[in-house]
């Protein structure tokens, strides 16, 4: 009855871990503690396991971050309720806004969006955009250029805006950041920066999301001009 098995590990929990469980835990940690918050120490503590177990399911940290980022793109697609009957244009707008707002909530993912081009959920995103484009009367040979233009605009501008929120720090809002940036602009030398100092004020009451939509509409205008009326 002497307890000599202190050293012995407890019964192994087989099948408790999986790729998805690990990725979801990574997303949670990144959401909670920011881009620096994902460490294998925290990850193994939360999953109540060891590093080796995690490495059985993922190749390395880079891959884990990439999968976590793709997961975020996936949630942006999931939260979108299909609205049959509305125009392709309107649905592209809704899709774009969903991605924009989702990345805004997971700002750590922004810098990595460029690296997930070939990941499953991101491919679904491109497929969705392409499907909507295909519903228009746009000539087939133009579809590639237009769909990828929208895709690139969506992912890269969204990433840029979200990145600005990251620089602001976790507790400050995007508005705080803009005000701070506007102050820095206004403080520049008006001699060498005549333009920037003059428009610094505009930056104060400027809305990233509005501007994102404005740019998207510009592309959609171009699309409409090429298509004529939509079906």
Q: Which residues bind its own copies (CB under 8 A)?
A: 110-111, 114-115, 117-118, 123, 126-127, 130-131, 133-134, 143-145, 147-149, 152-153, 155-157, 159-160, 163-164, 167, 181, 184-185, 188, 192-196, 199, 202-203, 206, 211, 214-215, 218-219, 221-222
Provide the sign of the torsion angle of the four alpha carbons 153, 154, 156, 157, taken in this order: positive
Based on the shown chain and the rule CB under 7 A, indicate whether residue 84 belongs to the binding site for DNA.
Answer: no
Contact 195, 186 (CB under 8 A): no
Burial string for 81-112 (b: 16+ CB within 10 Å, else e) reads: eeeeeeebbebbbebbbbbbebbbebbbbbbb
Nearer to its own copies, 54 or 200 (CB): 200
Q: Is 1 in the site for DNA (CB under 7 A)?
A: no
Q: How far apart are CA 179 and CA 201, in angstroms?
A: 9
Phi, psi of 166, deg, nearest 5: -60, -45
Residue 50 lies near DNA (rule: CB under 7 A): yes
Nearest CA among 74, 76, 77, 67 for reference residue 38 = 67
DSSP 8-state assignment for residue 43: H
Shorter beta-carbon distance to DNA: residue 111 or 130: 111
Cβ–Cβ under 8 Å, residues 94 and 143: no
Query: Which of its own copies, DNA, none binds 184 (CB below 5-8 Å, type-dependent)?
Result: its own copies
Site for DNA in 106-135 (CB under 7 A): none
What is the 8-class DSSP label of residue 6? G
Q: According to the binding rule CB under 7 A, does residue 6 interact with DNA? A: no
Q: How many residues bind DNA (CB under 7 A)?
A: 27
Look at residue 49 and give the partner it binds from DNA, its own copies, none, a contact being a CB closer than 5 to 8 Å depending on partner kind: DNA
Nearest-approach distance from CB 71 to DNA, in angstroms: 18
29 vs 113, which CB is nearer to DNA? 29
| Contact status, residue 223 vs residue 136, Cβ threshold 8 Å | yes
Nearest distance in Å: CB 47, DNA = 7
Which parts of this chain interact with DNA (CB under 7 A)? Answer: 8-9, 11-17, 38-41, 44, 47-53, 55-57, 60-62
């Amino acid at each position: 009855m002497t307890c000599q098995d202190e050293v012995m590990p407890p019964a192994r929990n087989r099948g408790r871990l999986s790729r998805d469980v690990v990725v979801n835990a990574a997303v949670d940690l990144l959401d909670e503690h920011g881009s620096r918050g994902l460490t294998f120490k925290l990850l193994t503590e939360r999953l109540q396991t060891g590093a080796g177990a995690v490495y059985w399911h993922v190749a390395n940290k880079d891959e884990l971050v990439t999968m976590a980022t793709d997961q975020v793109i996936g949630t942006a697609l999931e939260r979108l309720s299909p609205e049959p009957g509305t125009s392709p244009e309107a649905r592209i707008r809704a899709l774009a806004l969903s991605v924009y707002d989702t990345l805004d909530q997971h700002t750590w993912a922004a810098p990595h969006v460029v690296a997930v081009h070939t990941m499953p959920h991101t491919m679904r995103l491109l497929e969705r955009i392409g499907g909507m484009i295909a519903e228009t009367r746009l000539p087939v040979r133009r579809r590639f250029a237009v769909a990828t233009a929208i895709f690139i605009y969506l992912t890269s501008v969204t990433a840029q805006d979200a990145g600005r929120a990251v620089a602001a720090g976790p507790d400050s809002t995007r508005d705080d950041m803009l005000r701070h940036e506007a102050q820095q602009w206004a403080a520049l030398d008006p001699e060498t920066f005549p333009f920037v100092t003059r428009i610094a004020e505009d930056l104060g009451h400027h809305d990233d999301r509005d501007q994102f939509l404005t740019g998207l509409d510009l592309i959609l205008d171009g699309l409409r001009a090429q298509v004529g009326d939509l079906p």
